[in-house]
Amino acid sequence: MLRVAVISGPNLDRLGTREPAIYGTTTLRDIEAMCRAAAGNHPIVFRQSNAEFDLVNWIQEAIDEGAGIVINPAGLSFTSVPILDALRMFPGPIVELHISNIHRRPPPHRDSLISHAATGVICGLGAEGYRSAVEAILRMIHAKGA
């Protein structure tokens, strides 16, 4: 069974203490547990990095070994053509995720490049958005028969 890659970008390792008025108090470790529970028996790989090249490498790994990608590229959403290009190579479903509602935020935190490659986008649901994203990607994978 092909796995789901859950990839988080820069500064998300600081969830729980980083701007709690925007991002809440749930930690990335809590989010990982939430994602694993939502995935049930479906294998997932959960990763976070502050480095763009790590995200690109993990996306490329998923091209060969993954059924779906859930990605919160964080601040790289608005600047990273390399992440966009890597996602465009991925043949399966992609859910872009943002904890805050980026459409209500001031520039430069509003217009995501990554949305151009995403099958769907979830934003503004807080940490619970990760659970929703995993559930949505699993529905897409099962509908596709992967």
Establish whether 23 is a catalytic residue. yes
Selecting among 98, 103, 109, 116, the annotated active-site residue is 98
Phi, psi (rounded to 5 degrees) for 27: -85, 165
CA dist., res. 39 & res. 46, Å (int): 11
Selecting among 23, 109, 130, 142, the annotated active-site residue is 23
- Quickly list DSSP for 18-86: S-HHHH-S--HHHHHHHHHHHHTTS-EEEEE-S-HHHHHHHHHHHHHHEEEEEEE-GGGGGT-HHHHHH
Give 103's DSSP letter. Answer: G
Q: Do 46 and 35 meet the contact criterion of CB atoms below 8 Å apart?
A: yes
Please say whether the dihedral angle defined by the alpha carbons of residues 52, 56, 57 and 62, taken in this order, is positive or negative. positive
CA dist., res. 114 & res. 27, Å (int): 24
Establish whether 98 is a catalytic residue. yes
Which residues carry out catalysis? Answer: 23, 98
